[in-house]
């Protein structure tokens, strides 16, 4: 019976096969891990966009719930009745360019609402708030402009805050007292009272996850010498 010695160790081929398998497994694990991080980043970015859209609509609701009454013009800022007009138009309608020509005014109205911390502590000032959409490469931005009426604080410059970026769509619907809907309000100088309902739809891009679209229906409210909460549908 011939003597047979058991083989010790691995052949070169076995070592090479093991190395190739290890490399494949490592590459697969790295790919899965990298994709997990990428998806996590996309979800986080999408969540930021959603929160931004919600906060923008919340801010708009606060502004519209504190509209100044027409009679306030006599004692709170201006005698010009036209200054108290509520103006608004959806992008599909004829929009009004803003002062520097870089955007289009979606809405403009007198309100007691303000982002000024001093006012939130009790010193209320009558303002004109405008929401302006500005185009850029790929997506636009939504800007909130706040400015006091002239004879109240004429030295204070308008304050602009970008409330939303990555804007890809805006839609506005105004409802009058008879329940009729329109996408433009007072754009022809009719001198109409503010609408009884404003529906504002905002769409923002969320990278590769698509877009977020939220709509808010707001019942504008009037206030004298300070903001007043209104109702919301």
Each residue of 127-144: pLDDT tens digit? 889 999 987 666 789 999
Residue 144 bridge partners (DSSP): 131, 161
User: Which pLDDT belongs to residue 196?
Assistant: 92
pTM of the model: 0.70
Q: Which residues of the chain have pLDDT under 70?
A: 1-10, 32-46, 70-84, 92-102, 117-124, 136-138, 150-155, 189-191, 208-209, 223-233
User: Which pLDDT belongs to residue 212?
Assistant: 81
User: Which pLDDT belongs to residue 229?
Assistant: 47
* Alpha helices in 65-116, H assignment, sequence order: none
């Amino acid at each position: 019976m011939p003597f047979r010695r058991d083989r010790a160790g691995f052949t070169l081929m076995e070592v090479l096969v093991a190395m190739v398998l290890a490399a494949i497994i490592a590459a697969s694990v790295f790919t899965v891990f990298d994709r997990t991080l990428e998806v996590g980043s996309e979800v986080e970015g999408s969540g930021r966009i959603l929160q931004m859209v919600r906060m923008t609509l919340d801010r708009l609701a606060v502004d519209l719930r504190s509209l100044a009454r027409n009679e306030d013009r006599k004692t709170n800022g201006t005698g010009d009745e036209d200054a108290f007009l509520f103006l608004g138009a959806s992008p599909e309608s004829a929009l009004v360019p803003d002062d520097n020509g870089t955007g289009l005014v979606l809405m403009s109205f007198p309100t007691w609402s303000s982002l000024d911390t001093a006012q939130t502590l009790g010193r209320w000032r009558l303002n004109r708030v405008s929401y302006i959409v500005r185009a850029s490469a790929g997506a636009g931005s939504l800007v909130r402009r706040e400015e006091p009426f002239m004879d109240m604080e004429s030295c204070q410059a308008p304050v602009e805050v970008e409330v939303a970026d990555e804007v890809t769509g805006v839609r506005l619907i105004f409802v009058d007292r008879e329940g009729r809907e329109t996408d433009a309000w007072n754009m022809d100088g009719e001198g109409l009272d503010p609408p009884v309902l404003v529906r504002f739809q905002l769409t923002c891009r969320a990278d590769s996850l698509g877009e977020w679209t939220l709509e808010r229906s707001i019942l504008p409210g009037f206030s004298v010498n300070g903001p007043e909460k209104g109702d919301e549908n």
